[in-house]
Structure 1
Amino acid sequence: MKKTSTSLASARGPVDHEVRNQIIAAATEHFSRYGYEKTTVSDLAKVIGFSKAYIYKFFESKQAVGEVICGNCLGEIEAEVRAAVDQADRPPEKLRRLFKAIVESSMRLFFQDRKLYEIAISAATERWQVTLAHEERIQAMLRDILQEGRQSGDFERKTPLDETMMAIYLVMRPYLNPLILQHSFDYAEEAPAQLSSLVLRSLSP
């Protein structure tokens, strides 16, 4: 996320991180009510009671605010996925849990608030850095499971690791990318089990 310096122009008011949190909280509520695309920085300034210039001391644009909100949502998804994976002992079950947790957490967080979902759509369409970083962390999680499975003998070792990882990631992508996710809703219940089973068969040594 790009941002400008967070130094205050005066000693009045709360400290920097409290102001940033206040802006994010107000922006989240405003976006959820009126939508991301229809909201301007001027709108946020009026709601919060700050000047637009003051908001720009903490965020260089509306997108910068949106990236923080989007990053918070993606962070929740990653935390839930990691917790689900860590509950399994063996790589095949970790992979199953990875699929299941990604679908369930993405569906819940992306669709619990249709207005906030607009931020996810903008982030995916414009390839915000926060979404690219999220994809990289999910890929790293998947790579770790594959490496562990190869070491334990559960997964084949002939195919290059990164090639295998990316192929599986592309299978999962419809449930990670909000642009595609909205068209995958009808298959959300059965998809994790069916897709992970198919992938695991392909990974058999």
Structure 2
Amino acid sequence: MSQAPRTRTDPEETRTRILEVAEEFFRRIGYQKTSVADIATELGMSPANIYRFFPSKGAINECICGRVVEEVAEIAFSIARAPGPASEKLVRLLTAIHIHNKTTLLKEKRTHDMIVAAMQENWAIIKAHIERVTTIFEGLIREGVAAGEFHVDDPAEAARCVKTAFVPFLHPLLIENCIQNGEDTEAGLREQIRFILKALGKQN
């Protein structure tokens, strides 16, 4: 009587499951308190097996961070690709990113803390994320210039300036400081957006 063939777990499936369990721990107890042993125990495997898929705990941290910031990138891409004037889309995009980051602070504090650390420690995934968001800004600015909404000579430089002007409403630690000081971050955001649109040459 022939034996049933043994099923083999797809490596990518195992890798995904490791990240899912890691993210659950990160959200529950924080990324610093989560150990590779914790993840391995939850999955019923050895820590050595985890290291077959990730060379270090830091690599897991970066992957989870990447999953979190991907949510922001998806919001930005969705707004940028929608129909409508570029100036209106830029306003919606800046507002949506700020509200998303603020909501993460208020409802997912441990995730917020990880993003703060990632930005302070210059994790590669954060650098790539900021570059991607800046590229989205540039695309909208170019769209606005073509439509006669914006008047700038160098959309790439303008996008970098928008990123810099937007930092107080993008950086999670700065958002946290504003909330702790009792400041209305969304009122400040509206003022800054008006400044950004004026700097881009948007006419009222």
TM-score category (smaller protein): 0.7 to 0.9
Report the counterpart of residue 184 of structure 2 in structure 1. 187
- Higher-Rg structure is 2
Deviation readout 1:11-58 (Å, 9 max, x if unpaired): 875211221121111111112222111222122222222111100011
**Where do 4+ consecutive residues of structure 1 move more than 4 Å?**
none
Three-state SS of the structure 2 residue aligned to 1:184 is helix
Aligned residues: 194
2-structure distance, mates of 1:47, 1:64: 19
Shift of 1:143: 0.6
Letter in 2 for 1:51: S
Deviation readout 1:38-86 (Å, 9 max, x if unpaired): 2221222222221111000111111211212111111111111222333
Superposed counterparts of 1:164-175, under 5 Å:
164-175=158-169
TM-score, structure 1 normalization: 0.85
Q: 1:12 to 1:177 in 2, by over 3 A?
A: farther
2-structure distance, mates of 1:152, 1:94: 13
Higher relative contact order, structure no. (Cα contacts within 8 Å, ≥ 6 residues apart)? 1
Report the counterpart of residue 122 of structure 1 in structure 2. 117
Q: Is the 8 A contact 1:124 1:179 kept in 2?
A: no
Unmatched runs of 5 consecutive residues or more in structure 1? 1-10
Superposed counterparts of 1:78-157, under 5 Å:
78-157=73-152
What root-mean-square deviation, in Å, do the aligned CA atoms of Structure 1 and Structure 2 show? 2.0
Report the counterpart of residue 52 of structure 1 in structure 2. 47
Unmatched runs of 5 consecutive residues or more in structure 2? 1-5
Letter in 2 for 1:195: Q
Superposed counterparts of 1:28-39, under 5 Å:
28-39=23-34
